[in-house]
């Protein structure tokens, strides 16, 4: 029998606000335990939450970018459960009236476009962290308690592990474009759980689902879901039943494993948070937020193709990250030829950045410097080959191309007489090869060019070298 997978995702994105969701504590990552805390986020008796407006704006921004309906009067709710990392004994979240409803994100896979519908986006606070370091005790770190979290829930529209991974890639790209989340999956600032079920192809109803957690990279999302889909198909094919449960992805063993069954699921006793007034988003505020939304990846890619005449692949790669696309446009604005800039970025720059694991915004070499280098090539001051060496140096030090070229004596030799002397030397030193060339072995021209370049340490202007060699050899 043919089976079809049905997948819905539940994504948690930590928002890039300066302060926490309901107090003024910083959201900095990696500080000493319990140093980023105050009476409010440790849940002392008598404290009250105050909404971080910026967090609301980030969620609304995301909602607008994902075509959601923005709720005019939305409300916070308490989700009640006991856990040591949850200082108040409840999490302030949203339940009946989330900030955003509906919406979709379009993905493209194997040239096919598909809309994945969203159910809702809501805002909540993160919990702290329990630390088990052995012994008969555990420790609690509340630095993360109260950090704003955006929860994005999709409809069960996803049909394969690849689609799920692609959805996450697109989503991450957009969140980073909007500047609302850094998208770091390893550190957990972007997390994703999946509800997975399978059904015979063509069947309307859903099968029994499992919830998969702990997939902290795109690769693991794909692998974990692939595994889970196959596991369910295997069970059904044998006539066995799927148990509704939560399963953890074990990356080392490459399997999903049962964590707890849904029968033990909590009754969270949601009710409206009485300490907070409903959030009212009026037309004025909405327009303000709308105005803050930057051009998103798809639109920017289309524009790059049209405006800069770039091939689609180049345009896609360059618009994946906002910082990359900004870098490109800055270089073009400063006079770089679009396709040449694209080639240098996708070739040399990305290679070096990837090798060192550096983000483009932290690159020492800036658009203006690349344009400086390109102009040296255009003006025949250096050769393209030398330019690569110069670029490496620029990348390492952030210095101007012209300075490096002067300092290292890399100026191209365009003096015909000087090159002619060298060419004659090479021909005189290689009589056999000259003879063979004249006897018709034309491919030896490359050999002579190489010898000249070697003698000039690559600085000879290749056009002049070629011209002179042809002239001398045919004489």
Partner 1 sequence: MELYRLGIREAIELISKKEISPLELLESVFQRIDSVEERIKAYVTIERESAFNRARGLENKPMEGKLHGIPVAVKDNICTRGVRTTCSSRILENFIPPYESTVTSRLTVQGYILAGKTNLDEFAMGSSTENSAFFITRNPWDTERVPGGSSGGSAAAVAADECIAALGSDTGGSIRQPAAFCGIVGLKPTYGRVSRYGLVAFASSLDQIGPLTKCVEDAAILLNIIGGHDHHDSTSVAMSVPDFTSALGMDIKGLKIGIPREYFIEGVDKEVENGVRDAIKRLESLGAVPLEISLPHTEYAVATYYILATSEASSNLARYDGVKYGLRMDGENLIEMYMNTRHHGFGAEVKRRIILGTYALSSGYYEAYYRKAQQVRTLIRQDFENAFKEVDVIITPTTPTPAFRIGEKTRDPLQMYLSDIFTIPVNLAGVPAISIPCGFSGEGLPIGLQIIGRHFDEENILKVAYAYEQDTEWHKRRPVL
Structure-token pair, residue 222: 């794909």
Contact call for residue 89 and partner 1 (CB under 8 A): yes
Q: Note whether 43 binds partner 1 by CB under 8 A.
A: yes
Cβ-based neighbour number of residue 103 at 10 Å? 24
Give the binding range for partner 1 (CB under 8 A) out of 49-57, 176-184, 344-352, 448-456.
Answer: 49-57
Q: Considering the complex, what minimum distance in angstroms separates the CB of residue 91 from partner 1? A: 11
Closest Cα to residue 68, out of 11, 14, 10, 117? 117
Among 2, 32, 46, 474, binds partner 1 (CB under 8 A): 46
Among 28, 44, 396, 454, binds partner 1 (CB under 8 A): 44
By beta-carbon proximity to partner 1, the closer residue of 30 and 46 is 46
Select the span of 215-223, 273-281, 360-368, 428-436 touching partner 1 (CB under 8 A): 273-281
Of 248 and 276, which has the nearer Cβ to partner 1? 276
> Which range, of 255-263, 267-275, 343-351, 409-417, touches partner 1 by CB under 8 A?
267-275
Q: What is the DSSP code string of 273-315?
A: -TTSPPEE--HHHHHHHHHTPPPPHHHHHHHHHHHH---HHHH
The CA–CA distances, whole Å, from 304 to 66, 178, 285, 442 equal: 22, 19, 31, 43
Instruction: Using CB under 8 A, pick the residue from 243, 271, 307, 438 that binds partner 1.
Output: 271
Residue 245 gets which letter from DSSP?
E
Choose one: 35-43, 100-108, 182-190, 280-288; the region binding partner 1 (CB under 8 A): 35-43
To partner 1, the closest distance from the beta carbon of 87 in angstroms equals: 6
Query: Exposed, middle or buried by CB within 10 Å (0-12, 13-18, 19+), for 429?
Result: exposed
Q: Which of 1, 30, 45, 291 binds partner 1 (CB under 8 A)?
A: 45
Nearer Cβ to partner 1 (79/170):
79
How many residues in the shown chain lie near partner 1 by CB under 8 A? 28
Residue from 15, 42, 178, 331 binding partner 1 (CB under 8 A): 42
Quick check: 195 and 10 in contact, CB under 8 A? yes
Considering only residues 128 through 147, tell me which ones interact with partner 1, judged by CB under 8 A. 140
Q: Does 90 bind partner 1 (CB under 8 A)?
A: yes
90-93 sheet: strands from edge to edge? 90-93, 77-80, 271-272
Shortest Å, Cβ 368 to partner 1:
45
**Smaller CB separation from partner 1, 44 or 108:** 44
* Residue selected from 219, 269, 351, 406 as contacting partner 1 according to rule CB under 8 A: 269
Give, in degrees to the nearest 5, the angle at Cα 156 between 152 and 162.
90
Place of tokens 């609302």: 180
| Cα 321 from Cα 34, distance rounded (Å) | 34
The two three-digit tokens of residue 218, written as one number: 């795109």
Closer to partner 1 by Cβ: residue 46 or 202? 46
Q: Identify which of residues 78 and 247 has a Cβ nearer to partner 1 in the complex.
A: 78
Q: Which stretch binds partner 1 (CB under 8 A): 78-86, 119-127, 356-364, 417-425?
A: 78-86
Q: What is the C-alpha separation between 401 and 399, in angstroms, rounded? A: 7
Nearer to partner 1, 63 or 87 (CB): 87
End-to-end CA distance of the chain: 77
**How many C-beta atoms surround the C-beta of residue 446 within 10 A?**
9
> Nearest distance from residue 222's CB to partner 1, in Å?
35
Q: Binding partner 1 by CB under 8 A: which of 274, 384, 409, 440?
A: 274
The residues, any chain, with a CB within 8 Å of residue 60's CB and separated by 6 or more, are: 70, 99, 100, 281, 286, 289
Between CA 121 and CA 63 the distance in angstroms is 7
Q: How far is the CB of 43 from partner 1 (least distance, A)?
A: 5
275 binds partner 1 (CB under 8 A): yes
- Cβ of residue 280: shortest distance to partner 1, in angstroms? 12
- Cα dihedral 372, 374, 375, 376, rounded to 10, equals 90
Residue 276 interacts with partner 1 (CB under 8 A)?
yes
Closest CA to 405 of 419, 389, 426: 389
> Which candidate, 219, 286, 282, places its Cα nearest to that of 254?
219
Interface positions with partner 1 (CB under 8 A): 39, 42-51, 78, 80, 82, 84, 87-90, 140, 267, 269-271, 274-277
């Amino acid at each position: 029998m043919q089976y079809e997978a049905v997948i819905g995702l539940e994504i948690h994105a930590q928002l890039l606000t300066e302060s926490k969701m309901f107090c003024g504590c910083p959201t900095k990552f990696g500080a000493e335990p319990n140093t980023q805390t105050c009476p409010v986020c440790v849940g002392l008796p008598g404290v009250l939450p105050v909404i971080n407006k910026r967090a609301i704006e980030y969620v609304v921004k995301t909602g607008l970018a994902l075509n959601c309906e923005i709720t005019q009067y939305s409300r916070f709710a308490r989700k009640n459960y006991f856990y040591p990392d949850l200082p108040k004994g409840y999490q302030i979240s949203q339940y009946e009236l989330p900030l955003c409803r509906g919406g979709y994100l379009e993905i493209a896979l194997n040239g096919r476009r598909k809309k994945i519908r969203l159910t809702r986006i809501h805002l909540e606070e993160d919990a702290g962290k329990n630390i088990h370091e052995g012994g008969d005790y555990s420790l609690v770190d509340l630095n993360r308690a109260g950090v704003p979290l955006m929860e994005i829930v999709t409809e069960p529209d996803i049909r394969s592990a690849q689609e799920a991974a692609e959805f996450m890639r697109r989503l991450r790209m957009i969140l980073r474009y909007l500047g609302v989340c850094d998208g770091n999956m390893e550190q957990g600032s972007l997390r994703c759980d999946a509800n997975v079920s399978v059904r015979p192809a063509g069947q309307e109803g859903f099968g029994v689902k499992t919830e998969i957690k702990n997939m902290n990279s795109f690769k693991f999302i794909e692998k974990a879901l692939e595994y889970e889909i196959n596991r369910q198909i295997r069970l059904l094919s044998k006539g066995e039943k799927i148990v509704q449960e939560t399963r953890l992805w074990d990356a080392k063993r490459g399997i999903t494993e049962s964590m707890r069954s849904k029968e033990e699921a909590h009754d969270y006793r949601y009710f409206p948070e009485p300490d907070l007034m409903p959030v009212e988003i009026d037309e004025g505020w909405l327009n303000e937020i709308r105005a803050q939304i930057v051009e998103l990846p798809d639109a920017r890619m289309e524009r790059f193709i049209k405006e800069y005449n770039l091939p689609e692949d180049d345009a896609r790669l360059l618009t994946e990250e906002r910082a990359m696309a900004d870098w490109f446009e800055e270089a073009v604005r400063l006079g770089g030829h679009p396709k040449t800039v694209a080639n240098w970025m996708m070739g040399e720059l990305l290679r070096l950045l990837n090798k060192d694991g550096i983000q483009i915004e932290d690159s020492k070499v800036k658009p203006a410097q690349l344009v400086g280098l390109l102009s040296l090539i255009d003006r025949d001051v250096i050769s393209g080959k030398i330019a690569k060496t110069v670029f490496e140096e620029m990348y390492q030090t952030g210095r101007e191309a012209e300075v490096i070229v002067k300092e290292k004596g890399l100026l191209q030799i365009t003096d015909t007489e000087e090159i002619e002397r060298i060419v004659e030397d090479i021909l005189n030193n290689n009589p056999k090869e000259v003879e063979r060339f004249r006897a018709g072995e034309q491919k030896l021209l490359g050999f002579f060019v190489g010898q000249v370049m070697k003698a000039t340490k690559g600085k000879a202007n290749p056009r002049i070298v070629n011209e002179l060699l042809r002239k001398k050899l045919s004489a």
